[in-house]
Amino acid sequence: MTKIFFYQLVILSLSVFVNSGCSHTAKQPESHLKVSTTEISSAKTAVNLFQQSNPELDPYFQKALGYAIYPSVIRFGFGVGGAYGSGLVFENQQVVGRTQLWQFMYGVLAGGQYYSKIIFFKDEDALKAFKEGSFEFVGNAGAALLTLGGSSMPGFSSGVAVFTHNKFGLILELTPGGMGFIYEPLQNTADTD
């Protein structure tokens, strides 16, 4: 049973890597792409979690033009692994699109982690780069050993600031790899509040 799970994980990780190319892709708008109230509720709950557990993020919420929020990201692997999460993109406090996060990892890697991630976009240039597909993270080196709460990677860099809130997990990694993103703009954002 464990071998089957491991092989499924390897196949899933490789397909994520091949399909995403470890980069960001901007999808063309779909004619009836709408956001459900469940998606909005989940995103707002994750935002509240970040605000309550990390009051030092208040300036980011106040100064950033927008943010991408991933309420639930799962990352796991043993030697090879991957991560996936989906969420929403907000601009000026309004939902403007959906987003997906993909990651492929290989190297010294063992464990799993469940967390939320928020990416702040300081200005129009940073948000535009995300929407157009010229945004990506490359490389990983870290350890998250049974971490509950907390954030990492503070500060704006190239107009972007990234924070994670660990829900639970145990992962040790020293892995090259890349994190890719998919952005899907909404046609009509008037019905999202």
pLDDT digits (tens, 9 = 90+) for 101-142: 998 888 888 889 999 999 999 999 999 999 998 776 554 444
Residue 163 Cα distances to 9, 79, 134, 182, angstroms: 26, 25, 20, 18
Res. 19 pLDDT band, cuts 50 70 90: very low
Average pLDDT over residues 21-25: 42
pLDDT reading at 41 higher than 90: yes
Nearest CA to 20 out of 152, 183, 190, 186 is that of 183
Share of the chain above pLDDT 90, in %: 40
According to the model, what pLDDT value does residue 110 have?
87
DSSP single-letter state for residue 123: S
According to the model, what pLDDT value does residue 153 have?
41
How is the chain split into domains, by residue range? 31-185
Share of the chain above pLDDT 70, in %: 67
pLDDT digits (tens, 9 = 90+) for 4-14: 444 444 444 44
If you search the block for the tokens 């890719």, which residue do you land on? 180
Distance CA 92, CA 73 (A): 24
